[in-house]
Amino acid sequence: MLPLCVKSCKMALFNRVNGKVLKEQLRNSSEPRTTISFYKYHQLADPASFRNELYKRFDQIGVCGRIYVAHEGINAQISVPTHQFEQFKTELYAIEFLNGVRLNLAVEDDGKSFFKLKILVRKKIVADGLNDATFDVTNSGKHVSAKEFNELAENPNTVIVDMRNHYESEVGHFEGALLPDADTFKEELPMVLDQLKGKEDKKVLLYCTGGVRCEKASAFLKHHGFQDVNQLHGGIIDYVRQIRTEQLPSRFIGKNFVFDERLGERITNDIIAKCHQCGSPCDDHTNCANDACHLLFIQCSECKAKFDGCCTPACRDILHLPENEQRRIRREIGKNDSLSVYKSRLRPNLSALIAEGKTSWKLHESKQ
């Protein structure tokens, strides 16, 4: 039997099966799978050729997930059939620059994280908007363990900075951390630099999900005069593994947002966020079920039932239109800037929008 995520396309270097079909197969599958993330900064002369070779290696053992390849290296979030985990490591470590690379295993894993294999060649493995030629990207901060992180966090001279997007930190973060209100990493870097002005003599402690964003951010801050820059080794994912292994207290509260079908891993029982529609305590993200929107927002189970998984009554109305009419609407929205990009700025105020009776079309028209 062919791997779930590449069924019927064994020889292709990309998936050809409808995504909805693959998602349904994944939901119904009982195959144990292990979710893994890893990254490595390394100069690749030919990212496209490397991408194709990687696809061949991973396709044959049923790997699913999302991998970015660039001249500067690789950034991967994947799911591997558990019985193929050792074979996966053999294939991965056979690549010289990836031999022994740290693998972050998911904190909570139901095997439903990814439904297909997608490997993309990008300009950067994380979109940062930086000109790497203007500073030494290899001059990154000091990596610290979970125990060291906890100790540094107790130092009043330490400034803890969350290098993730606001929708990630909204559901979970380290106590006392600076939480930039940014939608993207590119937007966050200058924002952090501005917020840390005058604190160049402080001990800076950065963290992110798996560590890749901190590699670039720490070098960026050191280039701008910060001398004592530290970063959490392995990010939040490895922090949790370490504290559980060493029986350390968790300074992280809430849920760790992840960029896959799960959308989050429970770290502590604290619910620090609210449903964006009714305001009740909730930290469950959802993507609006309207294919013309797909806004990422926080929605409780009651509101999910009330709005059929949509972010506004208008999107719910669109969801129940005939498919050909939905396609027409998607084409209309596609001619302009993404509706969800505009609405993402209003995400925390969805309840107010609903109360005002605003519709997707009104929101879209008001942007023009």
**Taking Cα atoms as reference points, which of 117, 157, 93, 108 lies closest to residue 16?**
117
The reply to whether 107 and 71 lie within a common domain is yes
The reply to whether 107 and 166 lie within a common domain is no
pLDDT tens for 304-314 read 999 999 988 88
Residue 268 lies in a domain: no
The reply to whether 359 and 306 lie within a common domain is yes
pLDDT tens for 342-356 read 455 555 566 666 665
The whole-angstrom separation of Cα 163 and Cα 145 is 17
State the pLDDT at residue 354. Answer: 63
Residues recorded for the chain? 368
State the pLDDT at residue 359. Answer: 43
Placement of tokens 């194709």 in the chain: 52
Residue 166 phi, psi (nearest 5): -65, -35
DSSP 201: T
Residue 273 lies in a domain: no
Residue 264 lies in a domain: no
Six token digits for residue 358: 């605003």
**Taking Cα atoms as reference points, which of 105, 94, 44 lies closest to residue 69?**
44
The reply to whether 139 and 93 lie within a common domain is no
The reply to whether 141 and 107 lie within a common domain is no
Residue 262 lies in a domain: no
State the pLDDT at residue 74. Answer: 97
Residue 277 lies in a domain: no
State the pLDDT at residue 343. Answer: 52
Six token digits for residue 67: 């991998």
The reply to whether 137 and 207 lie within a common domain is yes
Residue 208 bears catalytic tag:
yes
The reply to whether 140 and 232 lie within a common domain is yes
State the pLDDT at residue 365. Answer: 37
CATH number at residue 10: 3.30.70.100
Q: Do the Cβ atoms of 240 and 268 come closer than 8 Å?
A: no
What domain range includes position 300?
A: 285-367
Q: Do the Cβ atoms of 268 and 252 come closer than 8 Å?
A: yes
Q: Do the Cβ atoms of 299 and 276 come closer than 8 Å?
A: yes
Domain end, chosen from 199, 216, 246, is at 246
The reply to whether 112 and 13 lie within a common domain is yes
Q: Do the Cβ atoms of 179 and 167 come closer than 8 Å?
A: no
Placement of tokens 């604190």 in the chain: 199
DSSP 281: B
Domain end, chosen from 121, 147, 171, is at 121
State the pLDDT at residue 293. Answer: 84
Residue 252 lies in a domain: no
The reply to whether 176 and 107 lie within a common domain is no
CATH number at residue 163: 3.40.250.10
The reply to whether 117 and 141 lie within a common domain is no
Residue 278 lies in a domain: no
**Taking Cα atoms as reference points, which of 256, 257, 192, 258 lies closest to residue 229?**
192
DSSP 89: H
The reply to whether 233 and 307 lie within a common domain is no
Residue 75 phi, psi (nearest 5): -140, 120
What three-state secondary structure class fits 255?
Answer: strand
Residue 79 phi, psi (nearest 5): -130, 130
The reply to whether 146 and 117 lie within a common domain is no
> 0.75 exceeded by the pTM?
yes
Q: Where are the alpha helices (DSSP H) in 41-196?
A: 47-59, 85-93, 146-153, 166-169, 185-195
Domain end, chosen from 190, 217, 246, is at 246
Residue 220 lies in a domain: yes
State the pLDDT at residue 294. Answer: 85
pLDDT tens for 84-141 read 999 999 999 999 999 999 999 999 888 888 989 999 999 999 999 999 889 888 899 9
The whole-angstrom separation of Cα 119 and Cα 47 is 11
State the pLDDT at residue 149. Answer: 98
Structural domain tally of the chain? 3
| Residue in 5, 64, 208, 310 annotated catalytic | 208
Residues of the chain with pLDDT under 50: 1-4, 6-11, 342, 358-368
State the pLDDT at residue 163. Answer: 98
State the pLDDT at residue 331. Answer: 80
What three-state secondary structure class fits 197?
Answer: coil
**Taking Cα atoms as reference points, which of 274, 325, 315, 278 lies closest to residue 294?**
315
Six token digits for residue 329: 């609407």
What three-state secondary structure class fits 11?
Answer: coil
The whole-angstrom separation of Cα 309 and Cα 299 is 8
